[in-house]
A = this chain, B = another copy of it.
Amino acid sequence: MAAMPAERRPNRGPSAAAENRAALMAAAREVFATAGYEAPLSTVAREAGVGQGSLYRHFPDRISLALAVFEESVAELEALAATPGSTLDDVLTVITEQTIASTAFITMVSVPDRPDPRIIEVRDRVARVLEGKLPQARAAGRVRADVTADDLVLVVGMLASLLSKLPAPERVATAGRLWDLLRRGIDGAAARRG
């Protein structure tokens, strides 16, 4: 009697596992971007067209899911950093773009509520990317000598922390303005001090 809805993707059986996993990750990327890192996981399951059971089987907790989703983001940063000729500015630009598209990544990485080793590891990868670009940026006069990679993670996290509270449409403009303030500083004297 139970008619199978025509539109329902057949997602049963062993062979569907990988497909379901991919659907969950795609849905999670979408949901994290839309509703932030704290978004209910039940939403992810629904969006993926999959039961809660499957979600939690594939990804035991929020962090597992997020790590899988954002691995791509870290990898992008690392790849960019490894590209000859790429600068700290390039890396920061991409981080900001990622943050505008989805604050969840940097939010998760920058200030974990309770430090999870897996998150710390990702955070360190991001910090290493920034650190690797610092000497060249200092030499080019793009960054004050005393600014560290940790400072940059802090600043980027601070930016993400604010952007995550803003409706998406306002993020681009606000991020632009805040980066201007962060780069040049608000202090009039600093600009003259040299």
Residues of B within 8 A of A186 (CB): 143-144, 147, 151-152, 155, 182-183, 185
CB pair A165–B161 under 8 Å, yes or no, is yes
Interface secondary structure of A, over-half rule: helix
Bin the interface of chain A by size.
Answer: 35 or more
What are the nearest 3 A-B pairs in CB distance? A185-B185, A158-B162, A161-B161
Which of the segments A46-54, A61-69, A119-127, A173-181 contacts the partner chain? A173-181
A144 touches which one: B137, B138, B165, B184 (CB < 8 A)? B184
CA distance A184 to B194 in the complex (A): 10
A-B contacts, 19 listed (Cβ < 8 Å)? A113-B165, A138-B188, A141-B188, A142-B188, A144-B184, A144-B186, A144-B187, A144-B191, A145-B188, A151-B181, A154-B177, A154-B178, A154-B181, A155-B181, A155-B186, A158-B158, A184-B185, A185-B190, A191-B191
Is A192 interfacial (CB 8 A cutoff)?
yes
CB pair B111–A144 under 8 Å, yes or no, is no
Interface members, chain A 158-178 (any B CB < 8 Å): 158-159, 161-162, 165-166, 174, 177-178
Residues of B within 8 A of A191 (CB): 144, 190-191, 193-194
Residues of B within 8 A of A187 (CB): 142-144, 183-185
Residues of B within 8 A of A145 (CB): 188
| Closest beta carbon of chain B to A177's beta carbon, Å | 7
How many copies are assembled? 2
CB pair A178–B155 under 8 Å, yes or no, is yes
Residues of B within 8 A of A193 (CB): 191
**Chain A interface residues (CB < 8 Å from chain B):** 111, 113, 137-138, 141-145, 147, 151-152, 154-155, 157-159, 161-162, 165-166, 174, 177-178, 181-194
| Closest beta carbon of chain B to A173's beta carbon, Å | 11
